[in-house]
Amino acid sequence: MSISSYDGRALINGKRVEALDGQTFDCLSPVDGRRLTTVARCGQADVDAAVAAARAAFEDKRWCGLAPAARKRVMIKFADQLLAHAEELALMETLDMGKPIKYARAVDVNSAANCLRWYGEAVDKIYDEIAPTASCALALIQREPMGVVGVIVPWNYPMIMAAWKIAPALAAGNSVVLKPSEKSPLTALRLAELALEAGIPPGVFNVVPGYGPEAGSPLALHMEVDCIGFTGSTRVGKQIHVMAGQSNLKRAWTELGGKSPNIVFADCPDLDKAVEAAVGSIFFNQGESCNAPSRLFVEASIQDKFLEKALALAPKYLPANPLNPDTIMGAIVDKTQMETVLRYVDSGKKEGASLLFGGEQALSETGGCYVQPTIFAGVNPGMTICREEIFGPVLSVLSFTDAAEVVRQANASVYGLQAAVWTRDINKAHGVARALKAGTVHVNQYDEDDITVPFGGFKQSGVGRDKSLHAFDKYTELKTTWIRIDSPV
């Protein structure tokens, strides 16, 4: 497939279609500003058509009626299809949202394929339950697919965020309508084609690209959608819960923002590793990661040494052409997000933080959207850059002297997605990990990740968990069937 042939039409009921009113929007590349293609600008009528197709597919049982082992085989083929088209998908993702091709291929494609395979593999190994009731009755507790699942995802890991939801939803037997971000719609559309080729029947997996209020809201408000899986900002996540309540009380699961604290004590077992993780994790994916450790608390006695090492590493992350296989920091997703990041940098400077590195737009001659990796020290908890999610390559460094106080500051956030603590003292590690209000706490590392563990947050970082077997709970209903037993013996 050549770049000029990227197909931006929706995929509804197994067919590529224009938006019903013929509207489109331009899909621009943040790599160099070029127009990649035009994309169907779906609205209410297109969402209605996609939901109707999904509903029909669910009711006639063309997918949910298959034995779990049969769905498993198709899901595994779907995963294989991603790997067979890995280069194409990686290139599309890089051009569409700016991440380095190296990671688009090694992380995004592989993780999405692994996720599809894992839920496919799991689905014929989960048993239902029989309750320990009295002998005159039998109570069966069974999971049933919900029906039509609406999925709305952001642009930072387009394929992975989609896979975390569509994999358990489809494996469990649901039909899906996916609305990708308007900033990165292309791989979602291609995934739906690959799903068809793998044998997922038409109508079971539909994709409606478009803007949030135009295509996302109709999905969240739809009376025929039984469940909505959302990943995105806390601001929109709150609206999703309202829309679920305003319509049919559909189940609403939200994976939202973060401002994750990373606490490094002076007795950290490996300072170089801690510095590499602190810097590498905030700059990975251009800082556009919900779980990026954007608040770094360093014990005062090691702060100078820590910052010296961090500043030595920072130039390695200066952005470069994401299509170059050696690049590790690419482009910010679009001009709007780049300007948001630069506004936060300005607010950091104005509110009195010390800018130690970066802080400027980069590579503007390319026509793309690039920001230098940025490190602020002397940050205090009241500053905007310390309170708000920036979603860009900006690290805020704070220093501390007291363990109880640093935990209090770490928890003083509306978010609670992830956190980390670095210490060689096992009591301190466990004590601080227990005290931190976060869905995931890392000890002496930041990058371990696996499909087997749940992902999600406390507080305003969302409701529910992606990944692991727990994700099946989101896309299935529990049904109890009581059977009376009048035993003749």
Residues that bind ligand NAD (CB under 6 A): 152-156, 161, 179, 181-182, 211-213, 216-217, 220, 231-233, 236, 239, 255-258, 290, 389, 391, 417, 457, 461-462
Q: Measured from the CB of residue 63, what is the shortest distance to ligand NAD in angstroms?
A: 24
C-beta closer to ligand NAD: residue 215 or 363: 215
What is the rounded distance in angstroms from the CA atom of residue 85 to the CA atom of residue 162?
Answer: 17
Ranges of beta strands (E only) in 200-313 are 205-207, 227-231, 251-255, 261-264, 295-299
For residue 100, what are the β-bridge partners? none
For residue 141, what are the β-bridge partners? 129, 480
Q: How many helices (DSSP H) and strands (DSSP E) are in the chain?
A: 16, 24
C-beta closer to ligand NAD: residue 77 or 165: 165
Active site residue 115: no
Catalytic site residue from 268, 290, 369, 386: 290
Q: Measured from the CB of residue 462, what is the shortest distance to ligand NAD in angstroms?
A: 5
Q: Measured from the CB of residue 212, what is the shortest distance to ligand NAD in angstroms?
A: 2
C-beta closer to ligand NAD: residue 173 or 330: 330
Q: Measured from the CB of residue 128, what is the shortest distance to ligand NAD in angstroms?
A: 29
Q: Measured from the CB of residue 167, what is the shortest distance to ligand NAD in angstroms?
A: 14
What is the rounded distance in angstroms from the CA atom of residue 343 to the CA atom of residue 361?
Answer: 11
Q: What angle do CA 305, 262, 381 make, to 5 degrees?
A: 90
Active site residue 365: no
* Nearest Cα to Cα of residue 120 among 163, 64, 81, 168: 168
DSSP class per residue in 436-460: S-SSEEEES-S----TTS-B--EET
C-beta closer to ligand NAD: residue 72 or 250: 250
What is the rounded distance in angstroms from the CA atom of residue 64 to the CA atom of residue 174?
Answer: 6
Q: Measured from the CB of residue 2, what is the shortest distance to ligand NAD in angstroms?
A: 27
Tell me the pairing of strands 415-416 and 251-255: unpaired
H or E, element range at 52: helix 44-59
Q: Measured from the CB of residue 442, what is the shortest distance to ligand NAD in angstroms?
A: 16
Catalytic site residue from 93, 182, 214, 255: 255
Token digits for 136? 């005159």
What is the rounded distance in angstroms from the CA atom of residue 163 to the CA atom of residue 250?
Answer: 21
What is the rounded distance in angstroms from the CA atom of residue 440 to the CA atom of residue 380?
Answer: 24
Q: Measured from the CB of residue 181, what is the shortest distance to ligand NAD in angstroms?
A: 4
C-beta closer to ligand NAD: residue 399 or 440: 440
Please answer whether residues 203 and 57 qualify as being in contact, where contact means their C-beta atoms are separated by less than 8 angstroms. yes
Phi, psi (deg, nearest 5) at residue 405: -70, -40
C-beta closer to ligand NAD: residue 142 or 384: 384
C-beta closer to ligand NAD: residue 310 or 338: 338
Phi, psi (deg, nearest 5) at residue 294: -85, -15
- Axis-axis angle for helices 86-97, 158-171 (nearest 10): 130
* Nearest Cα to Cα of residue 457 among 256, 259, 289, 288: 256
C-beta closer to ligand NAD: residue 181 or 396: 181
Q: Known catalytic residues?
A: 255, 290
